[in-house]
Amino acid sequence: MLLVQHDLQTALAQALEALMPGASAKAVLEYPKVAAHGDWAITAAMQLAKPLKRNPREVAESLRLSLLDSNAAKRWVQAIEIAGPGFINIRLTPDAQQQVLREVLRSGPDFGRQAPHGQRLLVEFVSANPTGPLHVGHGRQAALGDAICNLFDIQGWSVHREFYYNDAGVQIHTLAVSTQCRAKGLSPGDAAWPENAYNGDYIADIARDFLAKTTVTADDRSFTANGNVDDLDNIRDFAVAYLRREQDLDLQAFQVKFDHYYLESSLYTDGRVDKAVASLNASGHTYEQDGALWLRSTDFGDDKDRVMRKSDGSYTYFVPDVAYHLAKWERGFTKVINIQGTDHHGTIARVRAGLQAASQQQGLAIPQGYPDYVLHTMVRVMRGGEEVKISKRAGSYVTLRDLIEWTSKDAVRFFLLSRKPDTEYVFDVDLALAQNNDNPVFYVQYAHARICSVLATWGESSGLTPASLADADVSALNTPAALSLLRVLARYPDMLQQACADFAPHDVSFYLRELAAAYHSYYDAERILVDEPLVRQARVALVAATAQVLHNGLAVLGVSAPTRM
């Protein structure tokens, strides 16, 4: 189908160029919103009508005739029709629609993948402060970030996964004090227990291991406790290492890996924060007022100016963010995506303003929209018809590991990627455990397993493998049910490209459910392992290609494709 699309798009570009020089850029084939309207739609006639000073249907008729005269149309097109104000609908021949099977079976796991183009991308996600276990909101962020990385990787980008965390500041001090109190025998509710201390059972676990002088090892650090309850610095470093290890265990259970962990403290020790502040001052976009240093971020479209350095001499949190993103740019990442909660919405304008001020002063040419952001809402968890708000382990929220243990890694990933990031989501534990068609991950995985069962039966009787079907005669796939499934398969590469452009892995989950539904409908309409050899071979090729695309799409989401259920 990629060959068919290329041929027709080339023919369309030539027809447009002949109609109006420079119009070939509008040679776009779109999928009709209603499948009955055809296989592809062209809207260029309506776009060109005004500059050509012609009726759009007249322009459409000119394009239709030019296309019909092309070799591509003669080879692949069954009919070209004009509808409405000037839509051009293309109906392909069965042979053209069947081409996708050869492409899928020849490419296998690489179907939909683009060749590397050398561009680099950094995606920062999860980035949880090491003050407690990862909650389900972090889980949504992990699923989003990992899937977006997979989408860009498939589109040929060189992808770098990064975890940024605050290993200093008020929250880390609270963590250290909370652990110290536990180590001294205090508990939540005691008169001497600090009001703002962390109350989860995990604090008691950290204190116990600290007293035992345990060594903990995380992906980015290792630390041994000295057991001295009066050594707050040692307690702090041990608690951070302990919780970094806990986060690693959560991420391992979720099968998410990072290329680099970036410490906020390094921005200060390496002098990057001071350098960023000096650059902003030199840019002429700062001023002193009320004992504080301000960034005139309104110069760059922000709704008000922002404090950089408070009157007590400490920096506000967006200053190290600016320094961090300058470091990303200096490392050669001209494309950056940050996955964060919607509570970070107010940060975007001030960080971009700071980057623009520093960019002007240093001549860095950082684009105005740098970095990109994907913001997500939090997740509510329902179990047994009631909302679950508290985890005994965490003290105040449901952890990611709780959710994985209650259901599965596959269910958590698929469910958290089944909606747009900025929409509210309710995770229904009971639904995630249900083995029926109401459970979307079960529905998709069952389609794959169902096909694998058919392929196993066919392979045992024929002694062949699906790979041998790449050049099979599939002309028998000309029924409405088969052609409907072929149309869905053919959309996979374009769907991936658009999902990547829109930072929208939920589009993949939508597509997989549509593909599973198309397969289940096909299975109900036509028996696959029929007696007629050519028909059986063609139908096996069709379902083998469907299984491959289901497998590929699930891999984008980080979800397994079981062969039996």
CA torsion, ordered 231, 234, 237, 242, to nearest 10 deg = -100
Determine the Cα–Cα distance for residues 280 and 296; give it in Å rounded to an integer. Answer: 10
> Range with the lowest mean pLDDT among 142-156, 302-316, 401-415, 460-474?
460-474
Determine the Cα–Cα distance for residues 563 and 565; give it in Å rounded to an integer. Answer: 7
Domains of the chain: 2-92 (3.30.1360.70), 437-557 (1.10.730.10)
Cβ-Cβ contacts under 8 Å for 386 (sequence gap 6 or more): none
**Whole-number percent of the chain with pLDDT over 90:** 85
Residue 104 has pLDDT above 60, yes or no: yes
Q: Which amino acid is at 56?
A: P
How high does pLDDT run on average in the chain? 94
CA torsion, ordered 146, 151, 157, 160, to nearest 10 deg = 0
Going by C-alpha positions, the residue among 251, 230, 231, 554 that lies closest to residue 410 is 554
Mean pLDDT of 226-230: 97
Please report which confidence band the pLDDT of residue 165 belongs to, taking 50, 70 and 90 as the band edges.
confident
Alpha-helical runs (H) found in 221-367 = 232-253, 264-269, 272-283, 318-330, 345-362
Looking at residue 395, its pLDDT comes to 62
Mean pLDDT of 329-357: 96
Residue 19 has pLDDT above 80, yes or no: yes
pTM (2 d.p.): 0.92
Q: Between 130 and 514, where is the model more confident? A: 514
Beta bridge pairs of residue 223: 216
Residue 204 has pLDDT above 90, yes or no: yes
Q: Which residue has the tokens 């970070």?
A: 344
CA 281 to chain centre: 37
Q: Which residue has the tokens 């995985």?
A: 445
In this structure, the number of other CB atoms found within 10 A of the CB of residue 48 comes to 21
Mean pLDDT of 29-42: 87
- Could you tell me if 445 and 554 are in contact, meaning their C-beta atoms sit under 8 angstroms apart? yes
Residue 251 has pLDDT above 90, yes or no: yes
Please report which confidence band the pLDDT of residue 35 belongs to, taking 50, 70 and 90 as the band edges.
confident
Determine the Cα–Cα distance for residues 307 and 291; give it in Å rounded to an integer. Answer: 10
Residue 200 has pLDDT above 90, yes or no: no
